[in-house]
Amino acid sequence: MTFVDEPAKIREGEELDHSAVEMFLKDTIPGLDGPLSIKQFPSGFSNLTYFIQAGEREMVLRRPPFGKKAKTAHDMNREYRILSALHPVFPYCPKPLAYTEDKDIMGCPFYVMERIPGIIFRKDLPRGMAFSAGQARTLCENMIDLHFRLHTLDYQAIGLGDFGKPEGYVRRQVEGWSKRFRDARTPDVPDFESVMAWLDENQPPDSGFPGIIHNDYKFDNLVLNPENPVEITSILDWEMATIGDPLMDLGCSMAYWINRDDPEEAQMMRMMPTTVDGMMTRKALFDLYREKSGRQIDNFDFYYCFGLFRLAVIAQQIYYRYYHGQTKDKRFEKLAFAVALLEIAAKRVVAGGRF
């Protein structure tokens, strides 16, 4: 039995122009031959991801979603640039192969990278997969170790000194994501005004240790070695990466993490197998990160609450497209409910609850 993540049939309305893609790829990537086939990886809620095979060569194509998009989101050139800079020094990035802004091909910029096959954990462990408590803890430890290694890379040395503006990063994130939520809000979701006010009033100064931050670092963006599933071989989905405050990145990761003893509404939001036997808690993960950093980290409740709010904004931006009929993906129908649950979780932190 194989547990490797596999592509599926392309969703209705998200088809690509097969001949245009084939012509571009064979003109751009040396040595590419054989008939081209295109499928789609069905998971993920943001950029669309396709499986491209030409002969024995396997690749992945990434393009923005259809419909209304946030002004600064889904920047294909930005994603391609950070992969190009990171891959030579941080081999957990897939190798980028081609990029174009020629809208005659599919109406938008897109890029192609190598495919790294492996196991990807989604809501639950792959059916039939044995995974011990010891393996679960080791994977958690490896996940935090790799996250910290990313945060402490010398981004200046690899040409990413202008990739972001670390000064004032916390303030810009609070203001920017608040505006994004208000712009994308639909009448059937809560207003989050009390949470946004709390984040504005309680934001800490920047941590003083800027670094490369992934901004969507979680299990279903990690590729695991099929022969040793505690080993992380690749990190996917770099579309929101920038130079910023690593604690904001860690807080956003913890927003996805559901503990075994979290309340029922939190369990309803679980998207990854973080509750299986042996998985560490949010606090244990944070304590491990803090130990690796050797730094005093206060007020992590703020970073966790911001992560919950930002996750709600992302869900709402996607739901906005579904609400207005800009996508037919039925998975998006329930995102309004997720936004409401995230407000409950964020308000619990505002009221004094710990992460």
Residues 178 and 217 in one domain: yes
- The reported pLDDT for the residue numbered 4 is 86
Of the candidates 279, 295, 276, 275, which has an alpha carbon nearest to the alpha carbon of residue 287?
295
Residue 52 lies in a domain: yes
From 48, 79, 114, the end of a domain falls on 114
pLDDT at residue 286 greater than cutoff 50: yes
Q: What CATH number does residue 85 fall under?
A: 3.30.200.20
Whether 76 and 139 share a structural domain: no
Query: Can you give the pLDDT at residue 45?
Result: 61
Which amino acid does the sequence have at 316? Q
> HSE (CB half, 13 Å, CA atoms) of 48?
25
On the question of pLDDT at 68 being above 50, the answer is no
| 337 plus 192 within the same structural domain | yes
Domain that holds residue 345: 133-350
| Residue 216 shares a structural domain with residue 83 | no
Q: Domain check: are 154 and 81 in the same one?
A: no
Categorize the per-residue pLDDT at 73 as very low, low, confident or very high, splitting at 50, 70 and 90: low
Residues 141 and 81 both lie in one domain = no
Q: Is 9 within a domain? A: no
Whether residues 191 and 52 fall in one domain: no
- Domain end call among 80, 114, 148: 114
pLDDT one-digit tens code per residue, 181-196: 999 999 999 999 999 9
Query: Is the CB of residue 94 less than 8 Å from the CB of residue 86?
Result: no
Instruction: Single out the residue of 109, 211, 206, 208 nearest to residue 164, CA to CA.
Output: 211
Q: How far is CA 33 from CA 15, 30, 62, in A?
A: 22, 9, 20
Domain stop point among 65, 80, 114: 114
Judgement on whether residues 171 and 28 belong to the same structural domain of the protein? no
Q: Please, which residues have CB within 8 angstroms of residue 7's CB and are 6 or more apart in sequence? A: 39, 40, 41, 42, 50, 51
Same domain membership, residue 72 and residue 34: yes
On whether both 157 and 298 belong to a single domain, the answer is yes
Asked, for residue 198, whether it belongs to a domain, the answer is: yes
With beta carbons less than 8 A apart as the criterion, state whether 232 and 214 touch: no
Judged against a pLDDT cut of 80, whether residue 232 lies above it is answered with yes
- What is the average per-residue pLDDT within 113-142? 95
Residue 12 located in a structural domain? no
What CATH number did the domain enclosing 218 receive? 3.90.1200.10
Whether 345 shows a pLDDT value over 80: the answer reads yes
Tokens of 349: 């932190």
Q: How many Å apart are CA 149 and CA 132, to the nearest integer?
A: 26
**Range in 37-46, 68-77, 217-226 the model is least confident about:** 68-77
Q: Which residue reads 């996917």 in tokens?
A: 236
Do 305 and 165 reside in the same domain of the chain? yes
Total domains present in the chain: 2
What's the mean pLDDT when you consider all of the chain?
A: 93
Taking the C-alpha atoms of residue 224 and residue 202, their distance in angstroms, rounded to an integer, is 37
Q: Is residue 267 part of a domain?
A: yes
Write down the pLDDT at residue 67: 57
Domain-embedded: residue 153: yes
- Domain for residue 123, yes or no? no
**Does residue 106 carry a pLDDT above 60?**
yes
Amino acid, res. 65: P
Same domain, 73 and 159: no
Separation of CA 37 from chain center: 26
Asked if residue 287 belongs to a domain, the reply is yes
